[in-house]
Amino acid sequence: MGAALGAAALAPGSLHAAPKNALPRWRGFNLLYFFQARNQKGPVQIPEDDFKMIADLGFDFVRIPLDYWYWVDSDWRDKGRPDAKDVMKIKESAFSGIDRIVELGRAHGLHVNLNFHRAPGYCINSSELEPFVLWRDKDAEDAFVFHWDYFARRYKDINPNELSFNLVNEAPTPRPGYMTREDYRRVMTRATDKIRESTPDRTVIIDGLDVGNQVVYEMMPTGVAQSVHGYLPAEISHYHAGWVDKRSDFPAPWWPAVKRDGSGLISRDTLEKHYEPWGWLVQQGIGVHCGEVGAFNRTPHDIFLRWICDVLDILKIHNIGWALWEFRGSFGVLDSGRSDVAYEDWHGHKLDSKLLTLLQYH
């Protein structure tokens, strides 16, 4: 009986051993120290305890979303955004915190993945604040390549097993007049080629198109790894999250989830179909990782756990690792601020032990 149930949970053709992923099946968390420069009011704090706790809990990976405004030499705090002429000016002193993250990862056995959450010319949040458009303007593309070249050269002596690069967070959906699939391929390929000039063995990861949902088939010849994000459906992952559920009109979460238009359900079967192209990519020898997965703290805890259990189970079947958004905070395993969780006190933090157990299993 148990064997039959286990087989039923697998996708068709998956009764054999898990496919070989060109990437390790890293499991861990996003750490948001350099996430959004505009919201940072004081010095960035990077507590070593985070790295120690993550390692002690049995995880091996941290993804670091970065905002390039932190290290450009610009008066953007006065003007609201950097001038295009300043974007190529790097303030080297601003890298002390990023250097510390890389070293803390090495010290505690955690692979560090550096990601441009805000890149020259593009950000999934408030991209209009950029002085140019990454996909259209050569100055923006040149700046993007310039900054990744700086990172590649700065960290060229760090072992590839300890550090990787994720070029840009949540690429947009291609649309006429803004970005084509070819634009994305061109920009990602050019940055990858520049990185490989100084660090040919560095793992480079690109996010899928359509905010991390679509495989980028055009990039397969380059051998770069690709990242899927685990937020389907948004009705669960971002229920009452003001930057997505902007009118607070998402239906009350349930799993399987009701579509926003009431036309039907989003179920495990929906998820299996969604992640199937990513599993296919693994089978073609391309590395795949899920760089973000999680749900905001307004989603009822039991619904959240049922949903994320299915997501992580499907990723595990495809041998794809993941990084929870986030470690501490409203999406996290620590100090999430949920009103319906019986937290445990753990090193002075409120630990969601049910979520932790689920994460450790997957």
Quick one: tokens of 153? 């050269």
Residues whose CB is less than 8 angstroms from the CB of residue 322 and which lie 6 or more positions away in sequence, other chains included: 26, 27, 230, 289, 290, 291, 293, 312, 315, 362
Q: Which residue has the tokens 């607070």?
A: 248
pLDDT of residue 16: 55
pLDDT in tens, 11-29: 344 445 778 999 999 999 9
Mean pLDDT, range 136-156, rounded to an integer:
98
Domain layout of the chain by residue ranges: 20-361
Point out which residues pair with 257 in neighbouring strands: 266
| Least confident range of 45-49, 100-104, 234-238 | 234-238
Q: CB atoms < 10 A from the CB of 103, how many? A: 15
Distance CA 266, CA 289 (A): 23
pLDDT at site 41: 83
pLDDT exceeds cutoff 80 at 83: yes
Mean pLDDT computed over 158-171: 98
Q: Is 216 helix (H, G, I), strand (E, B) or coil?
A: coil
The CATH classification number of 20-361 equals 3.20.20.80
* Confidence at residue 1, expressed as pLDDT on a 0 to 100 scale: 30
List b or e across 288-321, with b for residues whose CB sees 16 or more CB atoms inside 10 angstroms: bbbbbbbbbbbbbbebbbbbbbbbbbbbbbbbbb
Does 271 score more than 80 pLDDT?
A: yes
pLDDT digits (tens, 9 = 90+) for 303-356: 999 999 999 999 999 999 999 999 999 999 999 999 999 999 999 999 999 999
Q: What is the DSSP letter of 293?
A: E
What band does 8 get if pLDDT is binned at 50, 70 and 90? very low
For the chain, first and last CA: distance in Å? 22
- pTM equals 0.93
Name 63's bridge partners.
30, 113
Of 118, 116, 144, 114, the closest CA to residue 130 belongs to 118
Give the residue-averaged pLDDT of 242-267: 87
pLDDT over threshold 60, residue 6: no
Nearby residues of 272 by Cβ (< 8 Å), 6 or more positions away: 11, 314
pLDDT at 336: 97
